[in-house]
Copies of this chain bind each other. A is one copy, B any other.
Amino acid sequence: MAWSLTADMLPDLARGAAVLGTGGGGDPYVGRLLVREAMRESGPITILDPDDLADDALVIPTAQMGAPTVCFEKLPHGTEPVSALRALERRLGRRADATMPIECGGINSMIPLLVGARTGLPVVDADGMGRAFPELQMETFAVYGVPGSPMAVAGERGETVVIDTGTDNAAMEWHARGVTIRLGGVAHIAEYAMSGAQVQRTAVPRTLTLALTVGRAIREAREQHADPFDRLADVLADTLYGHLRVLFRGKITDVERRTEQGFARGRAAAASFDGEHGLEIQFQNENLVALVDGEMRCVVPDLICVLDAETAEPITTEHLRYGQRVVVIGISTPALMRTPAALATFGPAAFGLAHDFRPVELIA
């Protein structure tokens, strides 16, 4: 069923998207401001349930691309993702019937809303990562046979680049990353153009709703002085993301972060409050693996989220600082994201990690 997203929902949505961003996906705060501004003129945005899409509807997902460390400093005008959409429509010779997120974590929950507000297009309540991932081939769309290309990249000065690598989504990522670097480290994209039937077959459903649910649960727990982590576990139990595990509680003791080849890579360490246990998280834009006392406790594609220990406010990798008091949680992902084909695309080995995937709910 279609529903209306109003401006007052944006803070909850942004907070939930930051949780689902698992440390990456770009800070949704900036995206939220852009959407709020655009909604002043457009009014509410129509959100379509994926089941309501006509089989032959053309859906063109839109997103921001780049290292979060750069995106945080180099703010978009807000016109770029529409330029990318238009460039891809031109290449396809057809106008889009809707846009959609490629990832539900971080700023990319917001970019399609910005496109919706600016163009009047509805936004589909689904995405292709079910979280955030750093690379464009890491999409359930790709896992289940939708090619990412032709895709369009737009810069802040009206430049557009249309990349066609056939069915080779990794080559598409390689070239789009190169273009993004030459655009200064951040760009906006339109990719994985697909039919309504393909959305229903390949997308992770209702993840805008999920982000809203997560963000609202944290806010309400604060307002009611309840434990936000318990509350989060309760609301997730009714979703495709059924299991939440608290992996660690402690203080950040070290952060190592570098921007290389267009990515933010590094690791963070934390010590438990009693000083007896240690946590290490490795990230490439997003958190990839969490080790407690050297033992793996959660690994991609399951979600590893660093939250403020008091407020449960999510902390992205570029905001990790020495001394922060944090709770680190693991969240299970839907079955669609844990098939052998999915794990081959965005499981541990896809990131060069030696760990085998194990569902977080079976470890902790």
Instruction: Give the interface of A toward B (CB within 8 A).
Output: 87, 90-91, 157-166, 168, 171, 174-175, 178-179, 181-182
A-B contact pairs, 23 of them (CB 8 A): A91-B91, A157-B165, A157-B168, A158-B165, A159-B164, A159-B165, A159-B166, A159-B168, A160-B163, A160-B164, A161-B161, A161-B162, A161-B164, A161-B175, A161-B179, A162-B162, A162-B164, A174-B182, A175-B179, A178-B178, A178-B179, A178-B181, A179-B179
Instruction: A90 to B93: give the CA distance in the assembly, Å.
Output: 10
Instruction: A179 to B161: give the CA distance in the assembly, Å.
Output: 10
Instruction: A163 to B154: give the CA distance in the assembly, Å.
Output: 10
Instruction: A163 to B91: give the CA distance in the assembly, Å.
Output: 12
Q: What number of copies of this chain does the assembly contain?
A: 2
Expressed in whole angstroms, the minimum distance between the Cβ of A198 and any Cβ of chain B is 23
Expressed in whole angstroms, the minimum distance between the Cβ of A157 and any Cβ of chain B is 7
Which chain B positions have C-beta within 8 A of A168? 157, 159
Which chain B positions have C-beta within 8 A of A158? 165-166
Expressed in whole angstroms, the minimum distance between the Cβ of A147 and any Cβ of chain B is 13
Which chain B positions have C-beta within 8 A of A164? 87, 159-162
Q: Which of B90, B157, B166, B175 contacts A182 (CB under 8 A)?
A: B175
Expressed in whole angstroms, the minimum distance between the Cβ of A339 and any Cβ of chain B is 28
Instruction: A318 to B287: give the CA distance in the assembly, Å.
Output: 46
User: Which has the most chain B C-beta neighbours within 10 Å: A87, A157, A181, A182?
Assistant: A182
User: Which has the most chain B C-beta neighbours within 10 Å: A161, A163, A165, A174?
Assistant: A161
User: Which has the most chain B C-beta neighbours within 10 Å: A162, A165, A168?
Assistant: A162
Instruction: A168 to B159: give the CA distance in the assembly, Å.
Output: 9
Closest residue of B by beta carbon distance from A181: B178
Which chain B positions have C-beta within 8 A of A87? 164
CB-CB nearest 8 A-B residue pairs: A178-B182, A162-B162, A159-B165, A160-B164, A161-B163, A178-B178, A175-B182, A158-B166
Closest residue of B by beta carbon distance from A183: B175
Expressed in whole angstroms, the minimum distance between the Cβ of A212 and any Cβ of chain B is 37
Instruction: A160 to B149: give the CA distance in the assembly, Å.
Output: 10
Which chain B positions have C-beta within 8 A of A174? 182
Knowing A87-B164, A91-B91, A164-B87 are in contact, say whether A159-B179 is a contact too (CB < 8 A): no
Which chain B positions have C-beta within 8 A of A162? 91, 161-162, 164
- Contacts A175-B182, A178-B179 supplied; 15 other A-B pairs, CB < 8 Å: A91-B91, A157-B168, A158-B165, A158-B166, A159-B163, A159-B166, A159-B168, A159-B175, A160-B163, A161-B162, A161-B163, A161-B179, A175-B179, A178-B178, A178-B181
